[in-house]
Structure 1
């Protein structure tokens, strides 16, 4: 129910943003056409909850900015990619050619980002990913018109590889979906874990029944399981893991137990661990305000999808403030984006040479709050001000 309430309120926010762009008195700069944002957030199928977090986080950022970026009225145009690359390309091209959007922001899944990267950046339009971070785009495929406010996919998984190593686990099994982010998760985990990987299990992105894989885990009896199963995949896996009585085997993950799925997982996820760049409990007034206002507006606990999208709104505002609201000089706008002159909900944040964040990463675990809601809570900092391992491969082309 809380997600449905959040959607209705989000639609009201989006309407308000569009309406607010029609009549802004005062400075001549504000008389210009509104800044247009194409906000790509999956709203169809089991992954829609992730897109809802992303969308609502960005809209809250715009509310905190009074529906303006750099003092200019702003219009947010929602784009449901339907988790289908061909659909995403068609809709994004329409936003570029028909609606003349100035920025494309969002994207939950890496296969969608890969599909729209060229159509967006070839038009010299800036693409800001608030979640998907496939490693090729952080290395040799870095792009002057692409920024990410999230991470490189591998990084959260490397956190768990280090956590497993630090815990002294010797034998670990891996379970991930068979697509780019799944392969990145395996690479990230193995980059830090030096013990034996008993088996790597790859499943279809649409798989919801894990009984066969759980039987193999039970038979192998590893020291721990590491998994990456986002959205509805994670809901089913966590429930089935508990039902199979496998909680005796430590459950290590990234994007499998977070606020986007915890309402559905409930007590089954309590105590399970995750690697992350953000939790609702991180210290700092900016984060406290974000979480407090998000819950008040949408009536559910935000996930990192929302936090990174909120930061994207703040990033765009900071860039347009530096350019005096101008979008004309792409080089100046790029420099302003790279400066990242805003207060992140994560605390430490800057961009590396590849336009991916330099930031902290945390080990977190699932807990139930006194009010009955579930959230991830930071346990300890695993990396501080870390640059992703692919940045050294980036030779940023001139744009």
Structure 2
């Protein structure tokens, strides 16, 4: 395929990520995928992981999905909903993609969900998992290979309760996923939230918030700060001398941010359905081949996107390549006939995963690279809290 698999990092990012779309090698009588990821700006590392993970999955399926030659259109959503809608509409109407896959941020998924699903095109979200689509807003053309936003954050609420923390300071961005994070944490945390602070999604200076944390003297903090927000927060938290206050987070210290955070993040905690050190054959193959191809450690953005490629491979194969049979394709996707890097995986009635969740901690590997590693399983076969409201059966 013409799409590069080499990781786009550091000073090389600007020229590559500026391209709005990259076409993979065209194939006749195949399957077309519109792969949506943020590849511009400070959050581009997350989109790069997502893109590289899906392409790694496609490499493992021999460049085909369900036996059909695969063509990939990589779409940079630029973290701008109006741009994402325009580009995705074009992919559906002009390029006639069979599936739209990807999406890092929930505000982008919220913008493109309606135009994609109303065209009866299947939308596979590999990261964004807002509660708005998990309950009454569930959709027969929407599947999620990551988690419900509330759900993953509740893991850290449970972990905080298990650890005996009574007073926790909460800090998240002011958008849907940030509000879901707080709701998820609160759903299982039995102590007191001493303060609940929301910041703009573009904020990079946390000095005012760190002063509040120091003054509150909580037992721990809980934060969800993806991408560049997390890089700056972790560095500034360590520099402010607050590392004695346990740092509990989701998608703040992960494989997308650790190359920039490094020692500043050591010992900090996260919660996730997957970590690079999970010991099963599919994950060992994925991590080893991914690192060999891209020279960086894959994160959940890559792993969930890799799973999406294998999900599509299994579903298309189950239907015999009949992409136009929407009912059969829906049932094939629901069956989830693939081996996940997470091990235990299936879809609930709302097309969100039923899976295990783990408490993870940042560690330095013998080769000097940083990664999150599982500490203990917190939830088993967990069903997200909105699934009961979904009317699909």
Does TM, scored on the shorter chain, surpass 0.5? yes
TM-score (norm 1): 0.93
For 1:18, the equivalent position in structure 2 comes to 25
Spell out, residue by residue over 1:358-387, the C-alpha distance to the aligned partner (whole angstroms, 9 max, x if none).
001000000000111000000000111111
Which stretches in structure 2 are left out of the alignment for 5+ residues?
1-5
Partner of residue 309, structure 1: 305
Correspondence 1:269 to 2:265: yes
Secondary structure of the residue aligned to 2:358 is: strand
Equivalents in 2 of 1:338, 1:350: separation in Å?
8
Superposed displacement of residue 175, structure 1: 0.3
| Alignment equivalent of 1:323, drawn from 297, 312, 319 | 319
SS of 1:248's equivalent in the other structure is coil
The C-alpha deviation readout for 1:113-166, integer Å capped at 9, x for no partner, is 000000000000000000000001000100000000000011121010001000
Q: 2:332 aligns with which of 324, 327, 336?
A: 336
1:175 matched to 2:171? The reply is yes
- Conservation of the 8 A alpha-carbon contact between 1:9 and 1:297: no
- Write the distance in 1 (CA, Å) between the matches of 2:207 and 2:148: 31
> 1:219 maps to what in 2?
215
TM superposition shift of 1:61: 0.4
**Selected match of 2:87 from 78, 91, 100:** 91
**Counterparts in 2 of 1:224-243, with a 5 A limit?**
224-243=220-239
- Residue aligning to 1:25: none
Matched, 1:51 2:47: yes
Q: Secondary structure at the match of 2:320?
A: coil
Alpha carbons 1:3, 1:300 under 8 Å: kept: no
Match of 2:240 among 222, 238, 244: 244
Residue number among 289, 294, 297 corresponding to 1:298 in the alignment: 294
Residue 107 in structure 1 maps to residue 103 in structure 2: yes
State the partner residue of 2:181: 185
- Given that 2:22 and 2:73 are in contact with CA atoms closer than 8 Å, whether structure 1 keeps it comes out as no
Q: Distance in 2 between the 1:3 and 1:62 partners?
A: 18
Partner of 2:352: 356
Give the distance between the partners of 1:195 and 1:262, measured in 2 at CA.
30
Report the TM-score, using the length of structure 2 for normalisation. 0.95
Number of equivalent positions = 383
Whole-angstrom distance in 2 between the partners of 1:264 and 1:155? 27
Which residue of 364, 368, 381 maps to 1:368?
Answer: 364
Give CA deviations for 1:306-352 in whole Å, capped at 9, x if unaligned.
00000000000000110001112100000000000100000000000
Q: Distance in 1 between matches of 2:22 and 2:97?
A: 17
Q: Deviation per CA, 1:246-291, whole angstroms, max 9, x where unpaired? A: 0010000000000000000000000000000100011101000000
State the match for 1:29 in structure 2.
none
1:3 is the counterpart of 2:8: yes
CA distance change for structure 1 residues 9 and 340 in 2, over 3 Å: closer, same or farther? farther
Structure 1 CA distance, aligned partners of 2:290 and 2:43? 20
Shift of 1:16: 9.7
Cα offsets for 1:27-70 (capped at 9, x unmatched) = xxxxxx22100000100000000000000000000001111111
Task: Report the 3-state secondary structure (helix = DSSP H, G, I; strand = E; otherwise coil) of the residue aligned with 1:246.
Answer: coil
The reply on whether 1:379 has 2:375 as its aligned counterpart is yes
Match of 1:153 in 2: 149
Contact residue 23 and residue 73 of structure 2 kept, 8 A: no
- Give the drift of 1:396: 1.8
Quick check: 1:9–1:298 contact (8 Å CA) kept in 2? no
Distance of 1:68 and 1:177 partners within structure 2: 39
1:192-232 deviations in Å (ceiling 9; x for gaps): 00111000000000000000000000001000000000000
In the TM superposition, residue 4 of structure 1 has moved relative to its aligned partner by 3.6
How far apart, CA to CA, are the structure 2 residues paired with 1:332 and 1:283?
34
Please tell me the root mean square deviation across aligned C-alpha atoms, in Å: 1.8
**For residue 26 of structure 1, what is the aligned residue in structure 2?**
none
- The whole-number CA distance in structure 2 between the counterparts of 1:198 and 1:373 is 35
SS at match of 1:91: helix
